Structure 1
Amino acid sequence: MTQDYRFHHLAIIARNYAETVGWYCRHFGFSLAQEWTAPDMLPGARMCYLRKGTFFMEIIGDGEKAGHHQVAEDPRQEYQIPGYRHFALEVDDVDAAVKTLEGDGVPVFFPPATLDGVGVRAALVRDPDGNTVELIQWLRGRPGEAEA
């Protein structure tokens, strides 16, 4: 039998649980789907699933931390540091999305740019912990899909 792998969630370790949960709900329209604690595994930590359509994010915050993740200082460095670097949210208009986020005080890490080789317009913003979120707009259909 062939196993079917389906995306389940992305996890973020947050310095401040409430701030991070609120940030993703306020700026991107996520809603709180479930909250829990695991005191034996992570004393003092709170956890939740945030949901946006079929996309889930797990936020793990508060409790003890053993350091910090490496945050790129410059957008070019974003693609030179090994490990997961960002996740992307598709939007209809990257420029309008960035303008709205900037108006709400969200720092833009990389302003909207057209990447002709991929056929997208994209920008990068940062959450309260410096995690990068890419905003992406397809300019020519999605890869692997027939054009209408």
Structure 2
Amino acid sequence: MTLDYRFHHLAIIAKSYDETVSWYCRHFGFSVAQEWTAPDMLPGARMCYLRKGTFYMEIIGDGEKVGQHAVAADPRQEYQITGYRHFALEVDDVDAAVAALAADGVPAFFPPTDHNVVGVRAALVRDPDGNAVELIQWL
């Protein structure tokens, strides 16, 4: 039997459920596909799936938190900290996307840069909790 693994979603633990949901909907066009709570598992937390096309993100916010993840101070450090570091959204024009986000108060912490070895132009921004979101364009 061959097993078929398909991507379902990625999850973000947010300090503020409302702020994080609003941020992804406002800046990247996600919409809330489903909301729920799990009081026995995570008292006080709210959860949802955000959807953009066939891509889903699970936002888990509010409730009790026991710590924060490591946020790199320098963009190069982003690749020296183990664990999931970012997810990427493909765009037609990285420079235009970065300019639009900057005009809306979301500056790039890693400016648009060509990565010829991979054949992409990419930039990084941070969400309200410091999670990196890569904007990527094929060259």
> In which range does the TM-score fall when normalised by the shorter chain?
over 0.9
Gap regions ≥5 residues in structure 2: none
Structure 1 residue ranges (4+ consecutive) displaced by more than 3 angstroms after TM superposition: none
Cα distance in 1 between the residues matched to 2:94 and 2:107 = 15
Instruction: Report the Cα distance in structure 2 between the residues aligned to 1:52 and 1:109, rounded to whole angstroms.
Output: 24
TM (normalized to structure 2)? 0.99
Aligned letter for 2:71?
V
1:67 equivalent to 2:67? Answer yes
Quote the residue 2:129 is aligned against: 129
Q: Could you tell me which residue of structure 2 aligns to residue 29 of structure 1?
A: 29
Partner residue of 1:114? Answer: 114
Give the distance between the partners of 1:109 and 1:125, measured in 2 at CA: 6
- 2:95 is aligned with what amino acid? D
2: CA distance between counterparts of 1:88 and 1:30? Answer: 14
CA RMSD of aligned residues (A): 0.4
Residue aligning to 2:48: 48
Between the aligned residues of both structures, percent identity stands at 83
SS at match of 1:76: helix
2:101 counterpart SS class: helix
Alignment length (residue pairs): 139
Cα distance in 2 for residues equivalent to 1:65 and 1:37? 16
CA distance in 1, matches of 2:67, 2:54: 31
- Give the TM-score, by structure 1 length: 0.93
Spell out the pairing of 1:94-113 with structure 2 (5 A cutoff).
94-113=94-113
Once the two structures are superposed, residues 52-90 of structure 1 have per-residue CA deviations (whole angstroms, 9 ceiling, x without a partner) of 000000000000001000000000000000000000000
Structure 1 unpaired stretches of 5+: 140-148
Q: What is residue 17 of structure 1 aligned with on the other side?
A: 17
After TM superposition, give the deviation of residue 107 of structure 1 in Å: 2.4
